[in-house]
Structure 1
Amino acid sequence: MPFDLWLVYLIACVGLSLTPGPNGLLSLTHGARFGVRRAVFTAAGAITGFLVLIALSLAGLGALMAASEQAFTVLKWVGAGYLIWLGVRLWRAPPPSVEDATPAGHRDSRPARLFVQGFTVAVSNPKVLIFFAAFLPQFMTPGAGFWSQALVLGGTFAAIEFAYEVLLAGTAHRLAPWLARAGRWFNRVTGATFIGIGGLLTTASRSG
């Protein structure tokens, strides 16, 4: 891949990461509730999910999703249901603590649980799969190694997205003293946002 084309792709990845979405919101919430060190697992789960979507898109599943109304509808409702369920859990969650000391054995703060949540939110939106299928080929050079280019593209996006989500988590953690006072409203706002995103996802169309 030419270096100048990669730079354009890098800028595009930064713009994509800065676009508000459920994974950024989840990292923000986990950073406030559990601290940056725990939220790293959330970000790692999200990156793993995005890499899976990139691989599936390049393998042709994105095109299949764009062509199949039934497959798109099934995944759309599954993803929407998960986001709404997650929003309800956040709404009911206790306010974040000022202390960066969530008990290691606390069920909601276990690294594996945070990783799975990040991963599931990342793969729960079928429109992302279609987006990657349409977006990534624009930056691939015909005739060059396909999978080597895919590795560069996927790795670049993963690095940018991971850094952005950890930055969000760190910002939320610094606001923890304020969140300890207004944390219940923070949880309700983020929970309602997830529920809203899930509701909007049910109205999504393949071309919309």
Structure 2
Amino acid sequence: MSIEIWIVYLLATAALSLTPGPNSLLILSHGATYGVRKSLFTSLGGAIGFALIIGICMAGLGALLATSTLAFNIVKWVGAGYLIYLGIVTWRAPPLSAQPEFRTGSANRYKLFIQGFMAAASNPKGIIFFAAFLPQFVDPNGSQILQFFVLAGTFVCFEFILEIILAVSASKLAPWLAKSKVGRWFNRITGASFIAVGSLLASAEK
């Protein structure tokens, strides 16, 4: 892969990462609720989930989802069900506290990691998108392993940095959210958004 192709890929990666999605919504929720440090585990889970998707697509399994209705529907319903589950859990969560020590003490780091991973890895539309997107930048005559590390590393690093920025922003706003009327509805708005995204995914066609 030439440096010119990599720069084009980096710009495409930036545009893709800046598009709102389940992981952006999740990290905003976790940043406001649990603080930045524990949200790192959410971002790490999402990074590994995205790396897995890229690996699957480069292995050719993304094409299976694009051609097999059964495989697509299985992954679709798993992803939709998980997002709806996250929405219900978030909706029912206690209101935000204005005190950081009360916001950071109740999170299980492994659970946050799994949520980040699942939000990234269980979206069949994401897999199909990468299956169509990545071949534009892969040199069939080059090392597939090396190109995987370059492509996955570039996207994962950019996405991870963006999610940290979102987590920091949400954490800074959390005290204001906790004191304002908006804060009282933060969990419900976020939970409803998860449910809406999950419902849209459930109704998606190939």
| Secondary structure at 1:175 match in 2 | helix
**Residue segments in structure 1 that go unaligned for 5+ positions in a row:** none
Aligned residues between the structures? 204
Structure 2 runs not aligned, ≥5 long: none
| In structure 2, distance between residues paired with 1:12 and 1:92 | 37
Residue 110 to residue 51, structure 1, CA distance change in 2 (3 Å): same
CA contact (8 A) 2:25 2:190 kept: yes
Q: Percent identity?
A: 54
Q: Tell me the residue number matched to 2:94.
A: 94
- Tell me if 1:199 matches 2:199: yes
Once the two structures are superposed, residues 81-124 of structure 1 have per-residue CA deviations (whole angstroms, 9 ceiling, x without a partner) of: 11011101111111222222247762xx1111100000011112
Contact kept, 8 Å, 1:65 with 1:130, in 2: the verdict is yes
Instruction: State how far apart, in whole Å, the 2-side matches of 1:24 and 1:80 are.
Output: 16
Q: In structure 1, what is the equivalent of residue 53 of structure 2?
A: 53
Q: Does 1:140 align with 2:138?
A: yes
Check the 8 A contact 2:38/2:104 in 1, yes or no: no
Residue type matched to 2:66 in 1?
Answer: A
CA RMSD of aligned residues (A): 1.3
Quick one: distance in 1 between partners of 2:25 and 2:104? 23
Name the CA distance, whole Å, in 2 between partners of 1:113 and 1:178: 26
Q: What code does the residue aligned with 1:63 have? A: A
Instruction: Tell which deviates more after alignment, 184-193 or 138-147.
Output: 138-147
2:177 aligned to which of 176, 179, 189: 179
TM value normalised by structure 2: 0.95
Q: Which amino acid aligns with 1:172?
A: A
Q: Secondary structure at the match of 1:127?
A: helix
Asked whether 1:157 is paired with 2:155, we answer yes
State the partner residue of 2:24.
Answer: 24
Q: Paired residue for 2:39?
A: 39
Superposition misfits of 4+ residues, deviation over 3 angstroms: 102-105
Q: Tell me, what secondary structure is at the counterpart of 1:31?
A: helix
Q: Which residue number in structure 1 is paired with residue 10 of structure 2?
A: 10
Picking from 98, 114, 117, the partner of 1:116 is 114
**In the alignment, is residue 131 of structure 1 matched against residue 129 of structure 2?**
yes
